[in-house]
Structure formats: C-alpha cells, structure tokens
Chain A
Amino acid sequence: MILYAGTVYDSSEQNRLLDELKTRIPQTLAREPLDPECVINAIDRLRQDTLAGKFDELLVNLPKDTVAAYKAQAAVLLSKDMLHLKLKTELGNTAEYETEGAEGFSRIRVRTMPLGVILHIAAGNMDFLPAYSLAEGLLTGNINILKLPSADDGLSLKLIMQLIEYEPKLKEYIYVFDTPSTDIYGMQKMAALSNGISVWGSDVAIDAVRKMAPTGVKLIEWGQKLGFCYVSHLAENAEAEEELRALANHIADTKQLLCSSCQVIYLNSDSDEEQAAFARRFAPLLEEAVGKNKSDEIGVRARDTLVSYTARLKDILGEEEVADNVIRMRGCSVLISDNSRLELSPMMCNVLVKNLPEDRLTQVLTESKNYLQTAGLICPADERGRLTDTLLKSGLIRVTRAGNMSAYFPGESHDGDYALMRYVRHVNVEL
C-alpha cells in the first residue's frame, strides 16, 4: 500500500506516483514552511488517543507487557512539553539572527531551514521506528518519503494516517511506500527526489543505500551497535551487589536485543580465577532476574527458549563454545570467554564474561570503534571519573549506571548526534 498526499493507493501505482511527486515537491517547497507547532499538536493528540486506548486493537499482536511499557513511554516522550524540549535541545535557538560582521566582510542573516526532502529507510527491528523517524522529519519541516520495512505489519501506516487526520496540512509532507528493498529502480527514484537519506539498519542495509544514493545527497546513517558493561574492583564497591542485580535486570528486561543492551560483561582483571568466580556470582542473579521478567505469554517464552537453544546449537557447530565454560541456569546462561573481543552474545539472556584490564581498554575498544554506543559502568566511586574518561576517549557515546544502559535520557544525543540537527540546514543571506 502507498500513502500519497493523504490518499491510499495500491502498490502497483508506485512508478506513476513517483513521477508525479517530481512535480509536486517543488510546489510544496514553494509554499509557507510547515510550522512545527502543527506537528507537535498532532503528535500530542496521537499520544492522548493512544493512552485512551484508541489504538489498542492495532497492538494486539504485541505482548501485553510490551504494550504497557510503550504506553508509559508515549505518555512522557510524546507530550507537548517534551517535544518542545527536544526541539530546543537539538536545534538550539532557531530564531533568525544577523551576524556581527567583521572588518572588510559583509554581514549576513542566518536562518534554520528544513533540508527539503528526506527519504527515510527504516529498519523493521523496532516497533514504531518508521513513524518515529518520519516524525523527526516533520518536526524539522521536511517533506518526507518513507520506505516501510518489509516486516511492517501495517501499524506504521495506520499511525501516520491518524496524524494526517488530526492535521490535514501534514498530508503534503508525507509519502509512504511499501517498496521492497530489492526494488532498486524504485528506491533510486525515491533517492533522486531527496536532499537527505536517513537510513536505519544493519551494515548490509547501509552499504546498499550508499551504493544507490546519488552523489551529493546527504546520508544520515543510524547503524547498529553493541553494548557492554565494564566492571572494576567489585570488592571495593559497597554497592556491588545492588549494581549487579540492576545489570541482571537490564539483561532480562531487554533480552539483549537493543543496540544499548549488554552483550559482554568486561572485568578489569587478568585472572581466570576471578573471571570464573564472577560468572558464578552473577549467574544466580541473572536467573532470578529472568524469573521475575518472564513473560506471562507461553508463546513468547517458548519462542525465546527456542531461539536461545538454536543459538546454542549454532555455537556448538561453530565450535566456539566448550561445554565446561558455560554456566547454564534456568532460562539464561553465563558464557566465560577467553578472548576480549567486543561481540554479540547469543542474546536472550545469555551473556558473555570477558577479561579486559584497564590498560588494554582503549586498544580493544578501538578495534570495534564503529559499533560503540553504550557502556554500563560498575566501579568504586573514586574510579568512576577516570574510567568514564577512558571509555569516552575510546569512542563510547553513552556511559551509564549498569541498570540504565537502555534507559532514555531526555536531552540525549543519538549515536553522538542530535538527529534534528542533521535534518536542517543553516542558510545565509548577505545583508
């Protein structure tokens, strides 16, 4: 299905509509720019209706506890106040101003304007991501072409249509296509219409976009990342037990599926005995957390168990795992590894434990520099400043408490950037 200027069309109309869009875009660009307040009002109404249960039937396919968590997030993050705060944090003061000028140079007027047209290629790995990416494009006043992920089950389209219903002005700024990624011709046509391409996804997806994007188009890449937790001198940490519990909860809660989820627990140590002792200490905490976070839905639990078991067998086939360095618990495991590489765990509450002494930290992490994002840190108070600095210098973007690795912090950047800043341009007019 295609959503084109507020009307739904069959996918087969794609080429005709893309041709038509070519003449439509300049007309929209020539009009008064989209006011962010329009967008904020529409999003806030979406939030209110979501909380009132208006979209519950669209969410029936999601586990109940997930829906509850989403609603709690929507209540805060989609509120008018929060959206205003986001605009302010990410774009700063957008009021037009004139420069002071310098001896021998003209003065200019500086204005923040939308990039123009943004093509969003959203990954299917997070619910609501396509709609979220599109909303960021709207907040900055852009015309948005959204290519839906193949895994999208219609939820994104319905939410977007709802936004247009609240605020019909938006329809000129929203074009949604369900083009498969294999339709290179269609994708190239969309890319050719755009000033910027915002792409979310795996390296394979991003590489594909780089190959088809016209030279000169601004690429806004949101790649995939690997999270870890760094643990130093537990014995000297009065809050050690509490922090380890929080880490176990984080692992059980995110099932290690997010970019920010903890895949590896690094120990500031070189000793195999300490490593084994840590794994033995952590395993029961993880088991307890997994027990508490267990979904009530048998289908979800069974799927998670199957995925985890399949990953275990694949590990055996790859001969990466030796049976005696794994501590298996109910619904989870702790895998003791003898290398220090930052890598993906089998996920679903199967965490890797590795040794990585502080003096080798930067060296090891720079090997994975393009995949760094979040590090949880468990250490005595007097080490926190130093270790945080080392992590940041090694390329990390977020350093958090162990339990908050996947938490959202209002005002935070995304992989080091403010997204909205990448969707605008600062224009200069000579006075």
Chain B
Amino acid sequence: MKLRRKLFSVKDPYDLSKDELFLGACRENWSYLMTHCEDYRKISEGLGLKSVDDIKRPEDLPVIPTMLLKQHDMRSGAYLASATSSGTSGNFSTIRFDLGGLWADLKMALKMSSYHKILSPRPCRYIVMGYKMHRGNKTAIAKTAFLTTLLAPAVSRKYILKYRDGAYKPDFEGIMEAVCKYARGKLPVRFMGFPAYTFFLLQMLDEKGVNVTLPKHSKILLGGGWKQFYQEAVDKQTFYKLAKKVLGIDEENICEYYGAVEHQILYTHCRNHNFHVPVYSRVVIRDPDTLEPIGKDLIGLMNLITPLLTATPVLSIMTDDLGVLHDGSKCGCGIEAPYFEIIGRVAPGEIKTCAAGAADILNGAGK
C-alpha cells in the first residue's frame, strides 16, 4: 500500500494537485480487494469492472451501499481492530481495520485536527456527550469520542451516557454540576459527542437559568448522531447563540465533524461551517434514480470514496445521506477544495412488503 502511505502523508490536507495520486491509491486498494475479498471481486466483475484499466476515475469504482454492509458481512484479509456502526434498528455493519489503515487514519486525524487548530498542547477537561467505552460496546462513536479526547491532554473526562444495569442512560444532572464547577476553574473545557445531546444540555442549562463563562480556549466539538440532528433540523444559529449565552463559548470555538463508521475520514468544519473534502477522500453525488454521478449544486445520494482501509471493502461506499457538493471557492474561507452539505436522508423506515416474507420459504422449500 505504497500509494496509500504517500497519500496520507500529503502535508496540506486540502492540496488540490493530488488527483493522480488519489486515483493511484484507489486502484492499489481495488487490486488488493480483488485478490483478498471474494465477495468484492464478484461484485466488481458483476458490475463489469474486471481490470484496473476499467477504473479511469474514482467514480468508476464499484459502489458498495452501507445497506449491503449491514446485511452482508464482508471482510478482506487480516485486521487489528474492528468497530460497528451505532445502528439503532438492530442492523449494523462491522468495519475492520488493518495496521496500515490505522496508521493512515491516525495521521489523517492529526493533520485535520492540527489544520483546524483542534490539536492543542494545553491540558483541558473533557465532557463527553456520548458513550464511555467499555468492553461490550464496540460502536465506533465510543472509540472516536475517546480518541478525540487525546487531541489535547486530558485532565479529566466525564461521560454523559453511563452504563448502568445493562443499559446506557444519560446523566444530565451530573453534567450540569460539572459545568458549574469547571466554570470556576482555569482549565479549558471541551465538549465532545452527539449534537442532539449537546443541544439538549444547552437547553436544560438555559431553563435552569445557568449562564457561565467557561475558561478561554474552551470548545464544543460535535460529531456522531448527525443524521438525527439534521432531521430535527435544529437551526445552527440557534445552537451557536445558545452556546454563547449559556457557556460563553463563541461560534468559532464550535467545531463540527462529519464521518461514518464505514468511511473513517474526519471531515471538519471550516470557519464558515462547511465540510471541505480533503485530499484523502472524494465525495461523489449520485442521481437518486440512476445512481449516475451528477454535477455540483444538485441534490443526490452521497458516495464517499477513500483508499484508507484494506481489511474491509469500504473503498467506495454509498451512504443513506442526501447531499450536495459545491465549488470550494463559493465558501470564502480560503480552502479551495469542494465542500458538501448534508440535506437529509433517504425516506425513513424499512421498505414495507408482504411479498418478501413468502420468498424466504420458497428459497428453502423450492431448492
């Protein structure tokens, strides 16, 4: 995976001159998957992609929907660690990490964090609006939340979701007490985790008449659970204003992430709150009827591509998210790479059918 190493070592995370390197790393990843993952090879060949020359652009790669990964576990070669998506519906996908992928992931996270000034040597206190890692919890969000607390030295970590009596329960009271205590101290506070919980906490603090000014350099880092958050359509300006009012944290110290367990790129908001696509990945928006790539400024299904991992065939995945891609220059933050907006999700719920149940049997009985 020479080209992967090279790609994830690129200094400027938004370098626009690396298209050729990106395509090369994708082809390298594809070739590996073709020889190490029987299912991937079948899909690729079934879609008519038989030789590396068939892949002329990243969008030519076979697209694997996360929907398929949730129904059909695919693995390719050795792995060191694994994570599962935090699926609430009972279906979840398992993503495995190879050593090289983990290294590349770490390098990418450090570069993105450093670029966006989240990486800091200044010790701080963390309030994690998410799960505390424990043995029985393999969800990626728990790991991500924990890893994020390493971006600046941690003096303490407090988790809102506590594992008690076999289930996770939110402890808003405990968090509120901690906030008031930390406001009297000197160390910056970092909030990390689910936007929905964070917003709920802000509302609760506001209702109780709490308004403190947390120490300088305090930040709110938001990631995970974005999908629900977008559905609830909380106006971002409302969020920013509330954070300022209740905690004294300015808009520029609120940083948002986007990512998926199947696509471990740490998309980080720029100062204009846009997600630019870094050198490590490509975002292709596809027509909701034909899945053909469509141009900028049009809404479609989000296809995320990165040659980060080899232990799971997640080179090019299709999420359930609907999004739009814009020209980087329209943002005005200085980053020229294109940026995307999440517009929503595909229609909720399982497809309802009464014909499908009958098929299970025929498959069993008919053969």
Contact = CB atoms under 8 A, between A and B. Distances in A.
A313 interface: yes
B301 A305 contact: yes
A389 interface: no
Interface string B342-353: 001111111111
Most buried by B among A294, A297, A304, A309: A309
Contacts of B290: 305, 330-331
B235 to A, nearest CB: 20
Interface stretch (B3-11, B67-75, B266-274, B329-337): B67-75
A416 B360 CA distance: 23
Contacts of B47: 316
B346 A127 contact: no
A371 B43 CA distance: 31
Contacts of A227: 355
A202 B360 contact: yes
Given A203-B361, A313-B65, A305 B355 contact: no
A348 B347 CA distance: 14
Interface stretch (A31-39, A252-260, A275-283, A353-361): A252-260
Contacts of B299: 298
Given A226-B359, A313-B65, A257 B354 contact: yes
A347 to B, nearest CB: 7
A151 interface: yes
B42 A203 contact: no
A319 B288 contact: no
B356 interface: yes
B291 interface: yes
Nearest to B351: A307
Nearest to B319: A306
Contacts of B300: 302
Contacts of A210: none
B347 A347 contact: no
A344 B356 contact: yes
Interface residues on B, range: 35 or more
Chain B interface, >50% SS class = mixed
Interface in A261-309: 261, 263, 294, 297-307, 309
Contacts of B39: 317
Nearest to B321: A302
26 contacts: A123-B354, A125-B352, A125-B357, A202-B356, A202-B360, A203-B360, A224-B356, A225-B355, A226-B359, A256-B355, A263-B355, A298-B322, A299-B322, A299-B348, A302-B288, A302-B300, A302-B322, A305-B288, A305-B290, A306-B67, A306-B318, A317-B72, A319-B42, A342-B362, A344-B359, A371-B362
Contact of A224 (B48, B301, B357): B357
A395 interface: no
Given A306-B65, A310-B71, 9 more contacts: A61-B348, A258-B353, A258-B354, A263-B355, A298-B299, A300-B347, A309-B63, A317-B72, A344-B355
B65 A323 contact: no
Contacts of B20: none
A204 interface: yes
B366 A343 contact: yes
Given A203-B358, A347-B355, A316 B42 contact: yes
B248 to A, nearest CB: 38
Given A317-B72, A330-B289, A261 B366 contact: no
B315 to A, nearest CB: 14
A277 to B, nearest CB: 24
Contacts of B72: 314, 317
Most buried by A among B72, B301, B344: B301
A202 B357 contact: yes
A313 B359 contact: no
A261 B65 contact: no
Contacts of B320: 303, 306
A321 B345 CA distance: 30
B46 interface: yes
Contacts of A124: 352
A212 to B, nearest CB: 19
Interface string A27-71: 000000000000000000000000000000000010100000000
A388 to B, nearest CB: 23
Nearest to B38: A317
Interface in B35-50: 39, 42-43, 46-48
A297 B347 contact: yes
Most buried by A among B39, B356, B357, B361: B357
A306 B64 CA distance: 10
A223 B348 CA distance: 26
A368 interface: yes
A125 B354 CA distance: 6
A376 B354 CA distance: 18
A3 to B, nearest CB: 23
B43 A313 contact: yes
Nearest to B64: A313
A331 B361 CA distance: 28
Contacts of A347: 351, 353, 355-356
Contacts of A307: 67, 351
Interface string A191-204: 00000000001111
B322 A226 contact: no
A309 B62 CA distance: 12
A341 interface: yes
A341 B361 CA distance: 13
A263 to B, nearest CB: 6
B357 A203 contact: yes
Nearest to B300: A302
